[in-house]
């Protein structure tokens, strides 16, 4: 009988030890789980607010006709409305990510890593977006200096025939005899034969 009681006491102690371990593990995991859920909610809210705010900014800028103003001032066809809308969306989402990381107590390490990655992405994006910009500018400067043709001249580039309506640093604007307006990037002029008609 004494052996039976000792075995039962040992089993009860093992059960209590297992229960204590489970309770201890639960007490450690519960705050982490709560933090992860809160971080995910913050990310989702940040994504939704970022998308909405980006669209609102883009619509506001469209109502001010920012793209037309930029094109008029610089002569460049850049969609600043869309660009600034996306920058706003990404900025809000990045702020949400930082707040979510702070909830998880991972801010300092992750922010440094994310900052390096973002800088690399931004630099890469800039290089990709301006890869055609510099050849266009160089050819635009060449056209202005050498004047192989001027506004009002009738020229033919490949199978495009028209009168030069405008020359700027990045493109020329041709008007065909049908009244169509054709924009030709200056960088294409380096590779094509230009025939000046009389």
Residue 92: per-residue pLDDT:
93
Distance CA 142, CA 52 (A): 44
Q: How many residues does the structure list for the chain?
A: 198
> Stretch 3-10: mean pLDDT, rounded?
55
For residue 54, the model assigns a pLDDT of 92
Query: Cα 133–135–136 angle (5° rounding)?
Result: 65
Q: Give dist(CA 39, CA 159) in Å, integer.
A: 58
11-17 mean pLDDT: 55
Q: Answer whether residue 116 shows pLDDT above 70.
A: yes
- Mean pLDDT taken over the chain: 81
Q: Where are the domains of the chain?
A: 2-129, 150-197
Q: What is the DSSP string of the chain?
A: -HHHHHHHHHHHHHHHHHHHHHHHHHHHHHHHHHHHHHHHHHHHHHHHHHHHHHHHHHHHHHHTTHHHHHHHHH-----HHHHHHHHHHHHHHHHHHHHHHHHTT-HHHHHHHHHHHHHHHHHHHHHHHTTTHHHHHHHHHHHHHH-SS-TT-EEEETTEEEEEEEE-SSEEEEE-TTS-EEEEEHHHHTTS-EEEE-
Local confidence band at 56 (pLDDT 50, 70, 90 cut-offs): very high
What integer is the mean pLDDT of 87-116? Answer: 85
pTM: 0.47
CATH of domain 150-197: 2.30.30.60
Give backbone dihedrals phi and psi of 24, rounded to 5 degrees, phi first: -65, -45
């Amino acid at each position: 009988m004494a052996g039976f009681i000792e075995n039962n006491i040992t089993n009860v102690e093992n059960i209590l030890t297992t229960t204590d371990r489970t309770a201890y593990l639960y007490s450690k995991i519960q705050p982490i789980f709560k933090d992860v859920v809160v971080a995910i909610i913050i990310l989702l809210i940040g994504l939704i607010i970022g998308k909405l705010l980006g669209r609102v900014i883009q619509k506001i800028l469209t109502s001010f006709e920012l793209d037309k103003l930029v094109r008029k001032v610089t002569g460049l066809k850049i969609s600043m409305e869309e660009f600034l809308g996306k920058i706003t969306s990404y900025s809000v989402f990045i702020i949400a990510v930082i707040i979510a990381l702070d909830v998880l107590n991972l801010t300092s390490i992750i922010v440094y890593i994310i900052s390096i990655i973002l800088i690399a992405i931004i630099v890469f994006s800039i290089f990709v977006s301006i890869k055609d910009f510099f050849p266009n500018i160089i050819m635009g400067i060449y056209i202005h200096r050498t004047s192989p043709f001027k506004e009002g001249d009738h020229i033919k580039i490949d199978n495009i025939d028209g009168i030069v309506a405008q020359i700027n640093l990045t493109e020329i604007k041709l008007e065909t005899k049908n009244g169509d307006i054709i924009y030709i990037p200056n960088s294409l002029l380096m590779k094509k034969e230009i025939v000046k008609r009389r």
